């Protein structure tokens, strides 16, 4: 069944999943993870996005590859 249209109004919460190809890790080590998180934070600041991350770390990614942004 197709899903309905995406809500895109100010304050709407979006669920973002970030994954590597074939579920591979998207960061190599803690240094790489820090760079990734820093870049995500920079984009959030530049765009006025509020970012809320779940905190588990399977597949080598902070937030178990799930972020919530609005």
What is the rounded CA–CA span in Å between residue 33 and residue 26?
Answer: 9
Tens digits of residue pLDDT in 16-66: 777 788 888 888 888 988 888 888 888 888 887 776 655 444 444 444 455
Do the domain assignments include residue 8? no
What is the rounded CA–CA span in Å between residue 22 and residue 19?
Answer: 8
Do the domain assignments include residue 37? yes
Q: What is the domain count for the chain?
A: 1
Closest by CA to 13, choosing from 56, 53, 61, is: 53
Do the domain assignments include residue 58? yes
The predicted model scores a pTM of 0.54
Q: How many CA atoms lie within 13 A of 58 on its CB side?
A: 4
Containing domain of residue 38, as a range? 14-69
Do the domain assignments include residue 54? yes
pLDDT, residue 51, reads 66
Do the domain assignments include residue 60? yes
Q: Using an 8 Å Cβ cutoff, are 8 and 70 in contact? A: no
pLDDT, residue 61, reads 45
Do the domain assignments include residue 3? no
Tens digits of residue pLDDT in 1-22: 787 887 778 777 777 777 788 8
Work out the end-to-end distance of the chain between its first and last CA atoms, rounded to an integer number of angstroms. Answer: 26
């Amino acid at each position: 069944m197709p899903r309905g249209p995406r809500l895109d109004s100010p304050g709407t919460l979006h669920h973002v999943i970030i994954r590597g190809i074939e579920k591979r890790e998207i960061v190599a080590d803690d240094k790489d993870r820090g760079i990734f998180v820093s870049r995500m934070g920079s984009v959030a600041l530049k765009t006025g996005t509020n970012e809320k991350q779940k905190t588990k770390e399977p597949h080598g990614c902070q937030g178990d590859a799930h972020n919530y942004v609005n």
